Structure 1
Amino acid sequence: MTRFDVLLPVFVQAALMFGLLFWLARERYVAVKSGTFDLAGYREGGAGFPRQPTLVNNCYKNQFELPVLFFALVPLAIITEKAGFVFVVLAWVFVVSRIVHALIYTTTNEVRRRALAFCVGVVALFAMWFLFFIDMLVASL
């Protein structure tokens, strides 16, 4: 696998995060301009925005939880040359699961479907870390 093959899912994940950030900025701007923003509620704990900006904000913040482990692993796999075909397929499964999770979160916010997408991503990321660990263990023997 080329470095680009390994990094392409990282670029897509980063694009998702930037897309959510820009969407959040627009949603907040619209809420402030339309008068649906409650400054006092926001000051006292983050509430104050209507439903849609809140969903986008929560989804955006969620991108700094599980994906941190993804962003940490990919450079390690590249540096150690342990990013093979299975690793890249799992990376794509993880990123697609994050996209699906974000789409559900910011639209219907149906918790069961959102949880399923989240779990698919967790399993894919865990498998990536597990395979990386086994590869490193075997290489050290």
Structure 2
Amino acid sequence: MTSTTLLILCALWAQGVLTMALLFILGRRRLPLVAQKKIAVRDIALKRDPWPEEVQKASNAFDNQFQLPVLFAIGAGMAIYLGAGWIEAVLAWMFVGTRIAHATIHVTSNHVYQRFTAYVLGFFTLIALWIAILVRLILAFGAL
């Protein structure tokens, strides 16, 4: 296994840990409210409205991990398959860094402009990763 492959796999692992950490945070915020009967299960069975803001922030941050990070995982897999280089490895970690920042802002201050900045940086990093993959694909076709 190359060092760049290992770096990308570690970035994927870190993204997975972030997702699991957010689920843990969500559970720590939800379960006490249900256990203390501050929230009725029937009220939350189909909608999120009854949850307090802190729970909704954690829930939204968790849900966000199934949007851009899905494209990241697909791209990382393609990059590894195509023989990823340092560009892809650095972009992978940059993306994960923006997701960590985005999630941290989401579950704490929820400052919308800061969160949006982290999101946009992650989005453009993801675009750069996909462009790097496209270049590798084009070069692979040229080598055939």
| TM-score when normalising by structure 2 | 0.90
Among 22, 25, 28, the residue aligned to 1:26: 28
Aligned match of 2:91: 90
Which digits, 9 at most, give the CA deviation of each residue in 1:80-106, with x for residues without a partner?
21x111111111110000000001001
1:127 aligned counterpart, secondary structure: helix
Aligned match of 2:102: 101
Query: 1:46 offset after TM fit, Å?
Result: 2.4
Segments of 4+ in structure 1 off by > 4 A? none
Q: Is 2:48–2:56's contact at 8 Å kept on the other side of the alignment? A: no
| TM-score when normalising by structure 1 | 0.92
Question: Whole-Å Cα distance in 2 between the matches of residues 34 and 104 of structure 1?
Answer: 28
Aligned match of 1:69: 71
Which digits, 9 at most, give the CA deviation of each residue in 1:100-129, with x for residues without a partner?
000100111111000000001001110000
Q: Which runs of 5 or more structure 2 residues have no equivalent in the other structure?
A: none
Aligned match of 1:49: 51
Question: Whole-Å Cα distance in 2 between the matches of residues 135 and 4 of structure 1?
Answer: 18
Identity %: 32
Cα RMSD between the aligned structures?
A: 1.4
Q: How many residues align?
A: 140
Bigger shift: residues 32-41 or 121-130: 32-41
Q: Is 1:36–1:49's contact at 8 Å kept on the other side of the alignment? A: no
Q: Which runs of 5 or more structure 1 residues have no equivalent in the other structure?
A: none
